[in-house]
Every structure is written in structure tokens, then in C-alpha cells.
Amino acid sequence: MLPQKATFSELRDSFRWDIPEFYNIGIDTCDKWADRDPDMLAIIDVGADGTARKYSFGDLRARSNQLANALGALGIARRDGMGDRVGVLLPQSFETAVCHVAVTRMGCISIPLFTLFGEEALLHRLRDSGARAVITNSEGAQKLAQLRDRLPNLQVVLSVDGPAEGASSFHDACDAQPDSFTPVATRADDPAILIYTSGTTGNPKGALHAHRVLLGHLPGVEISHDFLPQPGDRMWTPADWAWIGGLLDVLMPALHHGIPVVARRFAKFSAETAFELIRDYRIRNAFLPPTALKIMRQHPDAASYGLQMRSVASGGETLGAELLNWGREVFGTTINEFYGQTECNMIVSSCAALEAPVPGWMGRPVPGHEVAVIDAANGRTLEPGEEGDIAVRAPDPVMFLGYWNNPQATEEKFAQSGAERWLLTGDRGTADPDGRLRFVGRDDDVIGSAGYRIGPAEIENSLISHPAVQMAGVVGKPDPLRGSVVAAYLVLNEGYDGSDQLAQQIAQHVKSHLAAYEYPRVVRFITEMPMTTTGKIIRATLRRMAEEEAAAESQTAQEE
């Protein structure tokens, strides 16, 4: 835990990493608290009907032990130092936490999966990882049933909703096992979690993280929540626990610190239900992505809820002065902005407990992480005000082990300068003389929308699988609410004419095959795709078209 100091510089100077040789996420987030007080509150699971169930750390240990035994009896194990991969295709719930605790204490590797994923998205991740088991619900089991003949490694599917086609009952499997289990003595550098992240070319890549990734997250989580933990803290986020922002920025750090977590994933996020949840369950600490904040800000009586939260953190895009001021009025606290990515997360943050945030600037490097703006071509650290590549010095406890089965992509993620090795975030930025960092933009084509990082390649592949589409180019179109929305530029096959109806059909096609947040909200038909001489889409041209359209729409709205 970070020592509380008066300034950032004092905090950075006094911080030292303490990463033990042997460390296990499942033990750390559960057993130490269950040993101390098995009745200590761990998770409040709020159902869609508003019914809440409370689970203790003793409950978490007992059920995760039963699941570990059940998976072991079904052949899931650690083999030659590498654990079997187990997909967790569930929304926020007690069972989701049980899965991650059980899989990591087995020395196996958990794969967080969005329930919004369609068949194509699931197929790639499960086939690429060689997953041998998936734990899901009835909806997920139905999707998996359509894929089993293309997933030869997948041996076990358990459903929390009971038996289904191709799936056995999760609860029956657990109930048949003892609630004691001897965890595997994993090293801090042993693989624990495989999270797929989108890029601009090819399919999504699996970022493999070691058990130490949780310890690496702690300084950033603690500082972004004004020195977490404090007495009475209670955490929640609308972000799915399948996203690194939900799993490793909220669930696991909270359990590490013995802080109760409220599990509640809305089918459709709304300001009213979010405010009511914070009020009714006395949530003191929240990670709220910028899009959630913008939606909540539209509530006309937000201040009437009388919230007095201790900390609110947000990440994904820069927060302006107006939103910060609104947050102080509505939440009773200053929103702290943080920055990171799946491969290396929570590395920059503001901290209102130390200093007032500067609008437009992300904050400072979190103690324990060396973050700089460099010239990636030579590894030279740039002077304040010079724009360059935001990079993180390696090694670093929060940094990924590498991309799953993709050493070339892993090597391309780093820049070497003499003895110094830097992880390149793929983002551009500047630093000020005081060490604050400002995000300028991405140097790749990943689309930042509503807190998600969306790669265009997977969407383009889905688009061209539609019979009407000959070629597809996907970029982000500026959007005042989501930051960006997915915009698809399409060349149609002969015999098809562009229309609003066809655009809707194509968008729905993507939505049903990938994920709801990935489908194109903007579909434009063009006669010719801008291409390089080597046959690559010139997305910069498409982005310019999208930006011009957004600017024209904004101008029209102002004139009206």
C-alpha cells in the first residue's frame, strides 16, 4: 500500500516495490481475509430485479475451492509449468469472482470474455488460446454450442444457469466437491490472466499477464482513489469485469484490500439507475468511464441524490474542466483521471488528495512506474513540450509477459536504446516541466469509444462477410458522448445499392457476430476505397472524411 505523503515527489521518492518470489492472485484476493474473518463482506451481488445477495470471503473461498476441485476432476490442470486456459464468459456476479479466484489458485490461466461477444469474437479467442474450459450462463452456452465442432481443445463447459446443450451445471459440479483445496505455489512471474486486446491489423492479440500484475496495479488504483483503502470504502464500476478496467482496476484490487465490491452490470446503462445504486448501496468509490460520466451528467437532478463519495476515478479519455466541476458538485469529490492500456495499465494518474488536477492533463507517472515521452526511433527521452511516443520503461510489475503465441508482435511493442528497453503504448503525448503528461492522440488506428479500445480489423472482417459488402474500412468518427463511434466506409458488390435499410442490416450483421459496442453506428457507402500501392486501406483518408462530417454536423447543430 502506498504510504500517504504530502506531495507526489515525496511519494515517488519513498516508494519501493515489494514483489515476492512466490505469489498467487487467488490466495491474495481471498484466503488472507477468509483466514482472518470468514464472515467479512466481500461481494454484494445485485440482480436485475434489484434483489441483493451478500457473500463473505469465507463464501468466496469455499465456492472457489469447490470449483477448483470440480475443474480438476474434469481434467483441467497445470501442465509443464503452463496452466490450462479457462474462459470466464459471465457478467458481473459472485460466480465471476469465484471463477477467477479458482482458476488462478489452480495455477491455470483465466480468460475474461465479454458476454456481448458474438460467435466470431468468441471463436477466435477460444481457438487462439486453446481454451479447455469455459464457464458461462445459458446465453453463453447457446453461443458455444454453435462453435464446439470448431474448438477441438474445448472439453468442458459449465453453465451457472444449469444444464444446457453442450454444458453441464456449474452448481451441481461444485456441490459435488469438498470446499477445501491446496492452491498451487505459483511464482509472481507465472502466467495468470489472458486478456485479448484489439489492434489495427489482424485478429485481436492475447496479452498474457503474470500473477504480479495485480501487485503492479495497486499503486495506480490506490492513488487514483485518493489513497485506497480507507475505513468504510465500498467499490463499484459499470465497466464489465471482462475488461481490464473492471477486473484489475476494481474487482481484484478491492478484494486484495478487503473492500466490499458491488456487482451490478446493467443491461442498459442509465443515469438514474447508476445514481440510485450509488445511493442505495452506499458506494463510496467508483470507476466511471468517461461515457458513463457524460450520460450521468445529462440527468437534470443529479445533485438531488445528495451523494458524498470519497473517490471517483475515470480513464479512457481526457476530462475537461466542466466535467470535473460537475463531478465535485454531484459526487462531493474530485474525479481523478488515470491512463494505461491492457498491456501495461494504471501507469499515470492524477490524485486530488495531493494536488488539484490540471484539466487537459492526465496526471503524473504513478509511483513505481517510469513513464516518459520518447522518440521511439532512438529511445531518446524528449524535452518538455516535445510531442512523441508515450512509453514505459521495462521491466515493470504491471507489464504483460507478452502476446500469446506471437513473439513478433511482442517484440514490436518495445523499443531498445542501449541498455534501456521501453514499452511503446502506441499513443502520442507531451510532458510539462513538472512531469505531468498530456495525451495527444493514437499513432495507430484503434478506436476509443465509450471506454473501449476497438480494433478496426475484426470489424472489417465481419463487414465483408456480409454478401453486399465488397470492401470495408473502419475508423472512429468524433462523437461528443462516446469520444468516438465506429464508422464504416463500404464499397458494395455489384447488384447492391446503398440505402438506409441496407446500412441498418449491415450494422446489425456486425452487432450479432461481434459485440454490441463494436457495431458501426455510422455506415457510409463509397464508390472507391482509398488504398496504398501495396493494397492497404488508407485509414487516414477515411478518418479525415469522418472528422469533416462530424465538424459539419456540429456546425449545423450550433446554427440551429
Q: Is the CA virtual torsion 20, 21, 27, 31 positive or negative?
A: negative
Cα 558 → chain centroid: 35
- Is pLDDT of 57 > 80? yes
Predicted TM-score of the model (pTM): 0.85
Range 260-270 average pLDDT: 89
From residue 409, give the alpha-carbon distance in Å to each of 207, 209, 290, 356, 406: 11, 15, 30, 39, 6
Copy the grid coordinates of residue 168.
453441464
- At 401 the pLDDT is 98
pLDDT digits (tens, 9 = 90+) for 367-395: 999 999 999 988 889 999 998 999 999 99
Tell me the sheet residues that pair with 52. 46
What value, to the nearest 5°, has the Cα angle with vertex 181 and ends 179 and 182? Answer: 160
Residues 424-480: pLDDT tens digits? 998 888 999 999 998 876 666 778 788 777 878 778 878 988 999 988 999 999 998
- Continuous segment of H or E residues that includes residue 66: helix 57-73
- Give the pLDDT confidence of 476-508 residue by residue, as tens digits: 999 988 889 999 999 998 899 999 999 999 999
Tell me what pLDDT residue 464 has: 85
Mean pLDDT of 543-551: 93
Categorize the per-residue pLDDT at 201 as very low, low, confident or very high, splitting at 50, 70 and 90: low
pLDDT at 534: 47
Alpha carbon distance 475, 488 (integer Å): 7
- Among 1-10, 254-263, 266-275, 447-456, the range of highest mean pLDDT: 254-263
What pLDDT sits at residue 455? Answer: 73
pLDDT over threshold 50, residue 200: no
Q: Is the pLDDT at 98 greater than 50, yes or no?
A: yes
Going from the N-terminus, what domains does the chain have, and what CATH number goes with each?
A: 22-211 (3.40.50.12780), 447-559 (3.30.300.30)
Q: What is the mean pLDDT of the chain?
A: 92
What's the grid cell of residue 254? 478491492
Residue 197 is predicted with a pLDDT of: 86
Grid cell listed for 136:
458461462
The DSSP-derived string for 4-29 is P-SSHHHHHHH------SB--HHIII
Angle at 284 between CA 283 and CA 290, to 5 degrees: 85
